[in-house]
Structure 1
Amino acid sequence: MTTESQIAARILSDQEVEAYDLDSLPVQASIDLNNLYDLPPELREPVLISMAEQSGDLACMLALTDLYLIEKDQPELAKPWLDKMLAQDYLPAYASEAQMYMFGKYYQQDLDKAITLFERLAERYIAAEDYQQYAAPLAFCYLSLAQIYQAQQNIAMMMMHYFNALQLSDSETADHLANMFHPEIDVDPASKSLLVVLHCVFLTLAADFIHQRCDAVDDDQQRNIMLLNYVAKKGETLETIASYELTAKQSQQADALVKAWHDGDHQLLIEAAMEYVNGAS
């Protein structure tokens, strides 16, 4: 589960249903789950159920759980599959459980419980022998924690976890921060100058992180898709930055912050962001 928003399920016509031969769909656990997402939820559901029941594949169970939580908004159907995964101590399942508490799906909404679950999961990822391979799910934990603390208006904890996630080169987190530090939220010229710089920095990092991930992908088709996403994202970013007509000083400041971040000096950007946050508060 990646967002609170629900994706409306598309109702198939009789002709569309007949166009699919369910009996011919593969059910082997080795199937690439990504290929299934071309199917509408109504057809994806029986395939995932068959795969999960026949193989016991935990990734299939997780995909089925996400389908019920996100696309069909049927958390009562997700719960049995969640229990099966938790019984086998499947780490990604704890993130689903935490989100069910976070958004009040099946369980009564309990943000403190969600915080506890996300924190425990993050600790387990960090404790792993090669925790770098868990950078994406770890960043998701931090991003979720940041959003919870944002809802609770705990600014210090919110910013700490946003930057925890950002230090894992998470593009989604950079996008969240770019939206948070958007020039439209402040009309004070004295503080807006820094705000524009921060917005441009986070937009740039969001695109750069997509490009960085391309190098870690072995599959040529997936890498090409990511490169296309990067090109589109970079183009949008450059167009947005150009629209702000930055002064020479602002451009230099933005470039310096981006370079420092990529060089491993994260503190400069953290301090710049906190300077604005503290000034705005």
Structure 2
Amino acid sequence: MMKLNRVAAIVLILLAVFSTGVLAQEAKGNALVLQTDFGLKDGAVSAMKGVAIGVDADLRIFDLTHEIPAYNIWEASYRLMQTASYWPAGTVFVSVVDPGVGTDRKSVVVKTKTGHYFVTPDNGTLTLIEESMGISEVREIDENINRLPGSSDSYTFHGRDVYAYTGARLAAKAITFEQIGPVVNREIVKIGYQKAVMQGDAVLGNIPILDIQYGNVWTNIDKKLIDALNIKKNDLLKVEIYNKGNRVYQGTIPYVNSFGDVPDGKPLAYANSLMQLSFALNMDSFSAVHKVYSGPEWTVKVQKVSK
């Protein structure tokens, strides 16, 4: 009997320790992920992190990137879409690419259908998040409540004064989503671009981004459309690339698994890490050699070459 009582006591202690750990983990709040076009040459990003730590010293803060090209709202939208689904529900993303800072553009927080949060100006940054995750609700930030105390006379650093502060409070559970501000009863601002679609025996799409380190060209044509064209390994593809309707590139490219499947300097088509059709030169930059870049104004047409 004494042994049974001792075992029961140990089990109760372990359950108590486990429960305490779970509650402590829940109390820590959610991760805060920052993205800007600020770069790291000055103290802007550090100031944002300082504001966040001032809200909660235990807050877990991570960087998505601070190297978005200046004012490039489209790339900000893409990088969020590329990254967000790999983070757990509840994660709070703060994205500040804000050429309209200090104007009447709206500052919002979006809750997606996946349970993620995005704090950003409503300037097109949320275009691809709406498509990839779906939007459950949008609230406009009430700056009378959710603004760094003492910053009301500052008009050019909302990333620090409004977005980092509000995002940190939400991630730390100092406020609820409902305390952000009023519900926005209109569509978010969206950037127009060529969706990936079948057109006869071809696929049309967009070049949303470059694999910037290597100059590879990524499209939004996914594996389902690749399969719809019945494209197999070593098939040849006729590729045409346009910028604002003007053809920049035309060529025939083999579809292979990876870069080493073709000789150095030769072109290849492949499915990238997001399982989307991409183009590269083995050991060289497709973008630099062919003057092909990315953005909503870049389109691509792909056809399988008949044997």
User: Which of the two has higher C-alpha Rg?
Assistant: 2
**So what's the TM-score if we normalise by structure 2?**
0.30
Considering fraction of residues, name the structure with more strand.
Answer: 2
Considering fraction of residues, name the structure with more helix.
Answer: 1
Higher RCO by CA contacts (8 Å cutoff, separation 6 or greater): 2
